[in-house]
Structure formats: C-alpha cells, structure tokens
Structure 1
C-alpha cells in the first residue's frame, strides 16, 4: 500500500471517536483558556482554530486539529472501566501542551503557516507567540495539579515533556549533520527522536487518562508504550507523505520535505542501503541544486519507501501488542485500535 493510500484509508470509526471526545473536552478546554490574560487567551483560541486575529469567530474551514491526543486521554480512562469524563483533565492538559509545542516549533522551524492559516508568530509576532506558548504550558500543569491523582499525572506529563524537548533538540541537530560518513544520522537515531518528539505525548495522553480512571501502574505503562510506538509510526508515515503524498489529500506541497532538505526516515533508510541508487542519492543531496523529483525517485529505487512502510507497520504492530497488555474492554479496544489505524492511515 502506498503512503497516499494509507492516508486515504482512515477507518470510519475514528471520526466518531474524535467527535465524541471533542464534544466532551471542548467546554473544559474553553473554560481553561478563558482563565488566561485576554490577549493571551485570544492567541490560544486562534491556535485552536476558534477565532481569527482580533477575536472574531473563526471562518469556515479553520481547524485546531483533529484532537487525537485528547481522544487518547478519554479512551485511556474508559480502558480501565471509568467514565470518559474522568480523563477530561488529562485531555485538556495534553491539548494545551500540544498547542504550546506547535507554537514554539513553528518559531524554531521558521514555518509561516499552520493548518492553512498564518502561524501564531506570523499573525501576532514572535514574542507574543512565545508568551502564549509559555502560558499554555503553565495552564496545563495547573489543570493537572487540580485533578484527582494530580501529583502522579504531573509527573507523567513532566517526563513526557522532557522527552519531547530531547526529541526536538535531536531533530534540530540533525539538520547540521552530513548526509554521509560516520557522522550521518542513522535510522535508529531517527526512531529515538520520533519516539521522544511525537510518541512521548501520545503515550502520556493515554497513560494519564488511565491514571485518572484509577488504573494500576502496569496498565498505564502499557498504554504509554502503545502511544510511543504509535508516535514513530505516525512520524514515518508523515515523512512518506512529505515525499510521495498527494497534495489534495495531505494539504502539503509535493516534495516539500525534500525541498527543505529534511532528514526523514525514507531518506535515511535509502542512504543506508548498499545500492548504486543510494550512492547516487548521496551525491545528489550533497549538491547545492538537488532536484526533488529525481531525489524522490532515487529514494524509492534505493528502498526508502519500502523500508518506511515496513517500519510503520512494525511500529503499529508493537503498539497493538502493548494495547493488548492493557486489556481494555472490547468496545474501548475497538475504538483505540480505530484511533491507532487513523493516525497511520490518515488524511493530513
């Protein structure tokens, strides 16, 4: 199955799960954001897709994302037999932290747009965007601290945030390393970066929801592992779509990651292959005017697409095995697996 086909094959159950979770979490998330300074609250609302610059209600098509992390928190509580409402504080906290990380990521990466709108730093300025991100982070900790089992969930979130920062640091440092030679980035290093940068918060979402639902440590740990494996699969598929995805499906320009010379998993896997195509790819990437279309073809010829697809399926299988360890009820298990598939076979 191609990357585009995987993206288009999202299971029908996932939108229902996401919608149910959004309806449950949105009032509490709005209440939390409403406690911020009005100007900061406006920037936060803009980042969530609720309003335009200046505070007017958002136009049709504005989006704050699909809310996968908050759904994992709700389902984490339900996985241990509690009401989804028990996981709402965790869901609010992870949405706030995710928004905080995106605000700062866009600044670090110089990305001018987010979800087809100007990024917060472009709309309001760099300093205000940093301030809004800091406020969202502080609000997330405050939200968890006030919840039952607050100290335990705050520790889980703190550990995930340390991993997230570690992953972001590695991702930034990867750009400075050469394409070839002993200092090149290896696929194993990329896996660790993706687990930290993406998987840590996905795992933390489900684990915190489970803790608020009364889960033992072993169950929360299994859900955390599932999210971490899922994060790698998510990132690898995102990389595939960045090279071969259909812009009509992904919303991204074709070959965008190659034009930005990102060290993505398919590229790194292709460069590791003992094939002539890998050597030609290395020479092309070392040039100042690498043609993205030619690079994409060489990555495919050197096995980068095949290796990435195999890695995504391997990580998805590992996530499902960890989920089985948590032994959720049959209904919740179906919804969790639907969400796992949605993250890998998704419309970006």
Structure 2
C-alpha cells in the first residue's frame, strides 16, 4: 500500500489478518437479518455525524435538510421519520472493516457521513428534475418548500460532504475528497444524460446508453463508497480499484432491481405511486431492453411511449397497466432480473480480488445480497 504521510510504497504487516467484517469478527451469514443489523449499526454510527453537519447549516437550509432526512416536519417540529436505508455509508464502513478491521471502520465514519450527504444532495436535485412528488412515504422537499429552495439545500449538502473530509485529520481524507468530488462530477454527467435521453424518441435510445447512464448515476456512488472505505483502511491502489469495481457492479444490479420496482412495485412499500416511471415515460433499464427486443410488444411500447401519459385512460390506471404489460411481454422484466444476477456475479469477482476470504467479506456480501434481493 501507499503510506499517505510519505508517499512511499509499502506492504502493511499482516494486513490480511487484520481484515474483518463490519460487525463482529467472523463469517457473516448472507440473509436479510444480517444486512438489516449492519444497516442499523451504520445508522447508529453515522447519524450523529450527519445531524451535527445538518445542525451547522443556516436556518432555512437546515429546516429543508432535516425535513428531507425525515427528522423534522415541514413546520420544524421533530419527526421520527425515515432517513433512508443507509446502504452507501454501510458500504463505506463494510469496506473499511473488510480491509482494515474495526479501527479502520471507526476512522471511516466521517467519510461514510460524507457519502450519505452526497447521496441526499443527488436525491433532492433528482426529485426536482424528475418531478417526483413523494419520497420515503412523504411529499418531496421541492413540493413543500419550492424548487429553488430544494436545489439550494441539495447544494448545501454537497458542500457539507466535502467540508467533512476537508476537516478530517485522517491521512486518507485528501484522496477521499478528490475521489468523492470526481464522483459528483460523474453523477452530474449521468443525470444530464438521463435528462437528455428523456427528450429523445424511444427508438433513438440504445440499451448500452442506458446502462452507461445507470453506472454513472447509481454505480459510481456505490463504487466510490466502497473505494473510500478501502482508502481509510490504507489499502493499495489495486484493492481500492477492485472495491470500486465491486460497488459499481453491485450498483448496476441495484439499479436494475430498482427499475423493476419502479414499474411493478407496491406503493405501500416503495413510497411512490404505482408505475411512476411509466407515467413520466422514463427510459429505465427494463423499458430500454423491451424497446430493443424487436417484438410486437416492443412496437406497442414505443407507440405508448411516443405520446404523453393520458391520466384515466382506459379507466383508473389502465394505461399504466397496459404499458407495464407491454414491457413485460417484450422481455424487459426478465432481462432486468437476469442482468441483475449477472452484474452481481461480476461484483463478486471484483470483491474476491481484494478480499479473497469470505469471512472477511461478509459485511459487503450481506449488503450486496440485501440491495439486489428486494421484492416488489
């Protein structure tokens, strides 16, 4: 590895022996309970740093941010809301623990909070651009406070993330800040591509373009989260790159499943209206695969996507149902689920390069299983 203080190349003594999972040492069973426990421990470690960061904001920005995280109502009264699953900060801590043990995991808490702030910056902006009206089972910030204020609050969260790393005395903080800043640029490019594609006709968008966009929008931050954890563990460049690759591939699998849920998900579980992606004619991965299938259902889907959504058409939700069926008949749902499994297999190959011992990789494996085995 590289000594961040001197810049010299060296191997950490007994580095593999120090490696452990996010939670207690030893193998981690790959089930939902293990992942849930990891996420709960992550929230306990990271939420105090997040709250301290948000409390440092000026009044107006603080109020919007606390509402977005679910910790306050719109009027500023306390709320015990949903601040999200904490998948990305959990990946930071899991990677640090896998490569450096409990000491590295503890040192990476500030970096984990920074990643979660960047994630929420992107959510605030995405909600405005995508015109999403609900998130985490409550109205989105822009529908409550207005577009401009929601965008500004997102900008403030991004600034807080970089300040957390700038103030961190850990030797990995500088490289981590550079990597996170590069990730934000990639996120913005991915969002630009996504927005531009929505203005193009269905037959003008290729599946490869949508996959590349999804990697930039989703895979990049999950890869960055894993890479930051590796940096805080003092890993060498090869292991950092492998962890980044693991996160990117797992991120694509996550996005594939998320897109399936965006079409066929239960609003009671997702917190979003049924078929919300279809209503706005979003060229999600299942839709892109369906459009590229060359089937009669693909032609029907292209015709539906070529015209704006007609609310109430063919009865309440009838057009959404018809569009979802066209995606499914054209193979979009099956392709997305198969592709998600393939991306997870690639993620496992990347992980094995850096953490060959399954017992050390347990936390990362449990989280990867959790995000790709969600149901609709």
Question: Which residue of structure 1 aligns with residue 26 of structure 2?
Answer: none
Deviation of 1:303 (Å): 1.3
Alignment pair present for 1:152 and 2:175: yes
What RMSD, in angstroms, separates the aligned Cα atoms of the two structures? 1.9
Following superposition, the deviation at residue 322 of structure 1 comes to: 0.9
**Distance of 1:112 and 1:254 partners within structure 2:** 12
**Cα distance in structure 2, aligned partners of 1:32 and 1:328:** 36
* Equivalence for 2:194: 171
The two structures have a TM-score, normalised by structure 2, of 0.84
CA distance in 2, matches of 1:242, 1:329: 35
Contact residue 328 and residue 334 of structure 2 kept, 8 A: yes
* The one of 109, 113, 121 aligned to 1:100: 121
The answer for the alignment partner of 2:6 in structure 1 is: none
Cα distance change, pair 264–207 in 1 and its aligned pair in 2 (3 A) = same
Displacement, 1:287?
Answer: 4.3
Q: 1:124 to 1:347 in 2, by over 3 A?
A: farther
Contact 1:167 1:197 in 2 (8 A): yes
Pick the aligned partner of 2:242 from 218, 222, 226: 222
Paired position in structure 2 for 1:47: 68
In the other structure, the counterpart of 2:21 is none
Residue deviations 1:240-280 (CA, integer Å, cap 9, x gap): 11222233433333322212211111111111113222223
2:89·2:112 contact (CA, 8 Å) conserved in 1? yes
- Residue 333 (structure 1) aligned with residue 361 (structure 2): yes
- For residue 138 of structure 1, the aligned residue among 159, 183, 188 is 159
1:75 equivalent in alignment to 2:94: yes
Per the alignment, residue 4 of structure 2 pairs with none
**Change over 3 Å in CA distance of 1:214–1:144 after alignment to 2:** same
Query: Counterpart in 2 of 1:263?
Result: 283
* C-alpha distance in structure 1 between counterparts of 2:359 and 2:55, whole Å: 34
User: What are the equivalent positions in structure 2 for 1:1-348 lying under 5 Å apart?
Assistant: 11-59=32-80, 62-83=81-102, 84-147=105-168, 148=170, 149-180=172-203, 184-288=204-308, 289=310, 291-327=319-355, 330-346=358-374
1:143, 1:69 → 2: CA distance?
Answer: 16
| Displaced runs of 4 or more, over 6 A | none
Question: How much does 1:107 deviate?
Answer: 1.5
1:329/1:50 Cα in 2 relative to 1: closer, same or farther (>3 Å)? farther
The 1:105–1:284 alpha-carbon spacing in structure 2 relative to 1, beyond 3 Å, is closer
Report deviation, 1:328: 6.1
TM-score, normalised to structure 1's length? 0.91
CA drift of 1:282 comes to 2.2
Q: Distance in 2 between matches of 1:287 and 1:55?
A: 41
Q: Answer yes or no: is the 8 Å Cα contact 1:75–1:332 preserved in 2.
A: no
Residue segments in structure 2 that go unaligned for 5+ positions in a row: 1-29, 314-318
- Shift in Å at residue 321 of structure 1? 1.1
Structure 1 unaligned runs (5+)?
A: 1-8
* Higher CA-based Rg: 2
Cα separation, partners in 2 of 1:286 and 1:318, compared to 1, 3 Å: same
CA distance in 2 between counterparts of 1:287 and 1:177 reads 12
Give the match's secondary structure for 2:101: coil
SS in 1 for 2:337: helix
How far 1:220 sits from its partner (Å)? 1.2
CA distance in 2, matches of 1:236, 1:268: 11
